[in-house]
Amino acid sequence: MKLLVTGGAGYVGSVCAARLVEAGHEVTVVDDLTTGHADAVPPGATFVEGDLAEVAPTLLADGFDGVLHFAAKSLVGESMQDPAKYWNGNVLTSLQLLDAMREHGTPRLVFSSTAATYGEPDQVPILETAPTRPTNTYGATKLAIDHAITSYAKAHGLAAVSLRYFNVAGAYGPYGERHTTETHLIPIVLQVAMGTREALSIYGDDYPTPDGTCVRDYIHVLDLAEAHLLALSHTVEGEHQIYNLGTGTGFSNREVVETCRAVTGHPIPATYAPRRAGDPATLVASADAAAEKLGWKPERTDLHTIVSDAWEFTRSRA
């Protein structure tokens, strides 16, 4: 298929773009490089640097079979301090993309949604039917886009799939996580192991979890990419399907740090700090729907594998 990958110079976008190219698709990446890296665009993809809302109408006029929409602002803390950046950058831009798709008859969309659309869950594992009550602006903007996609699917026949990611980690060869502002646990721990950060603060040790630290569902970025390829081939005209992507297994922050110590051989000094605002105690996906409807089965569910791949990538960039 001829595909437009928005945000394809970012972490998840670059891994997916690489896999799409490898699977034989004709890929154009559009990215404004505010957080992405030009050298993360896989060879074999055409790269257009620019503002998505500005370039999408011209690009899509060329006739595309589908769009994979990764481009987004994704820092939870920043979204609370500067909501306009998120409502404009995520929601407004996505609406402009949807309109450009409609205008030019682009039939399919795979959208990067997030577990943050659910907020604090009443029940874990979290099903796709769980209430959506985001606790931060980032999650609220992603949920708003999901709602818009549902309306466009109903009204205009768009074939869409939203994938709600839980905690993405790991790397795929030269494609991995390298944010200038890093807030995620595994890359931060690996920075300590690399010696570029002194110590780790573990936010909260008094949660109602087995060891008192938060529990998260880590999914390998390559398994995530495979889900996008499957989603693309399972879109149905006029339908908006929504799937959680996680492994169904949770690891505590303490277990993550222990695994990073084992993988890196570094002591990784860590201290407990107060809870981080808005952090739910436990976020674990039910991925049964993705398994059943998309035939998706994550294969790299072992935390040791996920951290080892991230560590190899981190060292290769040093």
- Residue 47 β-bridge partners: 29
CB of 203 to ligand UDP, least distance (A): 4
Cis ω before 125 (30° cut-off from 0): yes
Say whether residue 87 binds ligand UDP (CB under 6 A): no
The region of 1-9, 58-66, 194-202, 287-295 touching ligand UDP under the rule CB under 6 A is 194-202
Q: Which one of 11, 138, 175, 243 is the catalytic residue?
A: 138
For ligand UDP, the binding residue among 203, 255, 266, 289 (CB under 6 A) is 203
Q: What share of the chain is helix, strand, coil (3-state, %, to 5)?
A: 40, 20, 40
Cis ω before 131 (30° cut-off from 0): no
- Residue 164 β-bridge partners: 113, 244
**Does 152 qualify as catalytic in the annotation?**
no
Pick between residue 97 and residue 307 the one whose CB is nearest to ligand UDP.
Answer: 307
| Interacting residues with ligand UDP between 255 and 284 (CB under 6 A) | 276, 279
Token duo for residue 108: 């399919």
Q: Which residue is nearest to ligand UDP (CB)?
A: 214
Does the CA dihedral 100-10-273-165 come out positive or negative? positive
CB of 146 to ligand UDP, least distance (A): 17
Say whether residue 167 binds ligand UDP (CB under 6 A): yes
Distances (CA, A) of 150 to 63, 82, 102, 283: 23, 27, 14, 25
CB of 292 to ligand UDP, least distance (A): 25
For ligand UDP, the binding residue among 52, 214, 285, 306 (CB under 6 A) is 214
Question: Beta-carbon neighbour count of residue 37 at 10 Å?
Answer: 15
CB of 45 to ligand UDP, least distance (A): 27
Say whether residue 253 binds ligand UDP (CB under 6 A): yes
Residues with Cβ < 8 Å from 210, sequence gap 6 or more? Answer: 252
Question: Beta-carbon neighbour count of residue 95 at 10 Å?
Answer: 15
Residues that bind ligand UDP (CB under 6 A): 167, 183-185, 188, 200-203, 214, 216, 253, 276, 279
- The residues annotated as belonging to the active site are 138
